[in-house]
Amino acid sequence: MTCAEVQLLLSEYIEKSLDTVRMKAVETHLLSCGGCHAETEGLMDCIRQISELPLLDPPIGFTQRVMAHVRDIESRPAGWRRVLAPFRIGPPIQATALVLVAIVAVFLYQKESQIRGNPASPAVPSILPSRSLSDDHSAGKPEQPVASAQRRADTPRQANSTANTVRSPMRESRKTASAAAVADQSKPKTPSSPDPEANSAGDVKNPLSRRGPIQAQEIGTGMEGLRSSSDSFGFGPTIGGSLRPGFFLPERSLSPVTEPSADAEFVVRRRDAQTRDPNSSVRSESARQSAESDIAPAVAKQSLASPPSQSPSINVREIRWFAVPADQYNQFRKDLASEASIDSEKTIGASERDFALQSNRELLIKVIIVSPAER
């Protein structure tokens, strides 16, 4: 046996795990070979050193600690909670944090748009036509009262129709809704309403209904949602009576996240006073002018006073949301076209409209009103 062969067997020789023939052979070699003998002694020393290492006791309470963790694992639901466990934060805290962050984000977004919107407000009248769109609910109504006092007396009727529309639930059939609207319109304009609820609603909305919706003061007030429906955008009673005030969403509250998707979208341009309202009768025109004589000249003066170049509000856009019954969509579009020039429109598809008609759904229409000066 060579030294190399013996060296390979030394470990087993020391452990006496070799067969007797090889045990004898190694033993014989070791007696005659000093090198291999020293090697064997070194290995035996090594094994002894390891085997004589004392066994230490585990730390006191080791088992209890392990079992505490084991019971913790057992009581913990599997899955994502286990992933969160190292952070030692319960999911409710994280959810709360998330909600807080979302609230702060929305708040900041609204704040920012308010800051951007407010400086524009004072100067807006300069770009507005002297005739506000608000006067136009006189358009289809030759018997429109002349004095502002009379107009004020007329408001409960508007509120009444508004209240009727509001009270009719969404799922109510389209026919009923439009019938109610028609009934409201055909109702003689008695200043007093039999419905006390409607009266109170009218009282609340009364001051707001006096304002023209596109008057500059309103951009940035956030009160659009409270505006009387028949008064907004100055549509005649056909559309105005069926518009639901609840759908007049103040544009400022619409962050990109919360903005609903519109069924149709119009970009309209305000017309100059001279070109607007071709349908208005002479009578209503004169009535309007006398009714608004207290407002219009002031606006016109402002308009003359401030040159457009200095107006920071030149690019102010106003966004209006309308909820229109599907069967009145064409009428809405026609009235819109008579009120303002439609720059561009993204109308609802025929099939979508048919579906809306069948399902009694109201169409959500977004109208972006740009000033005549805006490119």
Partner 1 sequence: MDRSNQTKEMVADGISDAECVRRVQRGETDAFETLVRRHEKTIFNLVYRMLGDTEEAAEVSQEVFLSAFRAAGQFRGDANFSTWLYRIAINHASTRRKTLNSRQRKVVPIESADSLHDPQPGPLEILEQQEIREKVQVALNQLEPDDAAVILLRDLQDVSYNEVAHVLEIPVGTVKSRLHRARQALKSRLKSYFSAERKAV
Task: Give the binding site for partner 1 (CB under 8 A).
Answer: 8, 10-12, 17, 42-43, 45-47, 49-51, 53-59, 62-63, 65-67, 69-71, 73-74
In whole angstroms, the minimum distance from the beta carbon of 16 to partner 1 comes to 13
Q: What element of type H or E holds 82? A: helix 80-84
Task: Give the separation between CA 312 and CA 144, rounded to whole angstroms.
Answer: 36
CA 328 from centroid of its chain's CA atoms: 27
Instruction: Rank residues 30 and 348 by Cβ distance to partner 1 and give the closer one.
Output: 30
Between 66 and 97, name the residue whose CB sits nearer to partner 1: 66
- Cβ of residue 53: shortest distance to partner 1, in angstroms? 6
Identify whether the C-beta of residue 143 lies closer than 8 Å to the C-beta of residue 185. Answer: no
Alpha-carbon distances, residue 362 vs 1, 52, 175, 239, 328 (angstroms): 102, 89, 12, 13, 9
Single-letter residue type at 105: A
For the bound state, the minimum distance from the C-beta of residue 33 to partner 1, rounded and expressed in Å, comes to 17
CB of 168 to partner 1, least distance (A): 60
| Distance separating alpha carbons of residues 142 and 119, to the nearest angstrom | 39
Helix (H/G/I), strand (E/B), else coil: 9: helix
Q: Is the dihedral of CA 199, 253, 218, 185 positive or negative?
A: negative
| Dist. CA 309–CA 288, nearest whole Å | 30
Structure tokens at 296: 């219009």
Smallest distance, partner 1 to C-beta of residue 52, A? 8
Q: How far apart are CA 336 and CA 111, in angstroms?
A: 31
> CB of 126 within 8 A of CB of 308?
yes
**Is 42 or 297 the residue whose CB approaches partner 1 more closely?**
42
Smallest distance, partner 1 to C-beta of residue 12, A: 6
Q: Which is nearer to partner 1, 19 or 57 (CB)?
A: 57
What's the CA angle centered on 253, arms 247 and 259, to 5 degrees? Answer: 70
The one-letter amino acid code at 87 reads: F
Give the SS3 label for residue 323. Answer: strand
Number of CB atoms found within 10 A of residue 151's CB: 20
Residue number, 64 or 186, with CB nearest to partner 1 = 64
Identity of the residue, 58 or 188, whose beta carbon is nearer to partner 1 in the bound complex: 58
Q: SS3 for 366?
A: strand
* Torsion-angle region of 39 (φ positive above 0: left; ψ -120 to 50: alpha; else: beta): alpha
CB nearer to partner 1: give 58 or 256.
58
User: CB of residue 258 vs partner 1: minimum separation in angstroms?
Assistant: 45
Residue with Cβ nearer partner 1 (76 or 116): 76
Q: Cβ of residue 42: shortest distance to partner 1, in angstroms? A: 5
Output 60 or 305, the one with its CB closest to partner 1. 60
For partner 1, give the closer residue by CB, 18 or 243: 18
In three-state form (DSSP H/G/I as H, E/B as E, the rest C), the secondary structure along 129-182 is CCCCHHHHHHCCCCCCCCCHHHHHHHHHHHHHHHHHHHHCCCCCCHHHHHHHHH
We find the least distance from the C-beta atom of residue 36 to partner 1, in angstroms, to be 13
Q: How far is the CB of 48 from partner 1 (least distance, A)?
A: 9
